[in-house]
Amino acid sequence: MQKIHWHSFATAEKVAAAASQQILTAAEQAIKDRGAFKLALAGGSTPDKVYHLLSESRADWANWHIYYGDERCLPADHPERNSQMAQASLLGKVAIPAEQIHTMPTELGPEAAAAAYREVIAGVDSFDMVLLGMGEDGHTASLFPGHVNSPDETVHAVYNSPKPPPERISLSAKTLSQTRQLLFLVTGEGKRDAVQQWRQGIILPVALIRPEAGVDVYIDAAALG
Ligand code: 6PG
133-176: pLDDT as tens digits: 999 999 999 999 999 999 999 999 999 999 999 999 999 999 99
Name the DSSP letter for residue 131: E
* pLDDT for residue 10: 98
Average pLDDT, the chain: 98
Name the DSSP letter for residue 75: -
Q: Of 25, 88, 89, 29, which Cα lies nearest the Cα of 53?
A: 89
Res. 125 pLDDT band, cuts 50 70 90:
very high
What is the distance between the alpha carbons of residues 82 and 78, in angstroms, rounded to a whole number? 9
CA of 136 to the centre of ligand 1 (A): 9
Ligand 1, residue 133: give the atom nearest the CA.
11
Q: What is the percentage of the chain residues whose pLDDT exceeds 70? A: 100
* pLDDT for residue 1: 80
What is the distance between the alpha carbons of residues 136 and 126, in angstroms, rounded to a whole number? 28
What is the distance between the alpha carbons of residues 96 and 191, in angstroms, rounded to a whole number? 33
- Whether 65 shows a pLDDT value over 90: the answer reads yes
Ligand 1, residue 72: give the atom nearest the CA.
7
Identity (one letter) of the amino acid at 81? Answer: R
* pLDDT for residue 82: 98
> What's the rounded mean pLDDT across residues 53-58?
98
* pLDDT for residue 150: 95
Beta bridge partners of 149: none
Q: Residues 218, 43, 152, 117: is their CA dihedral positive or negative? A: negative
- Give the binding-site residues of ligand 1, using a 6 Å CB cut-off: 42-46, 70, 72, 82, 133-135, 139-141, 163
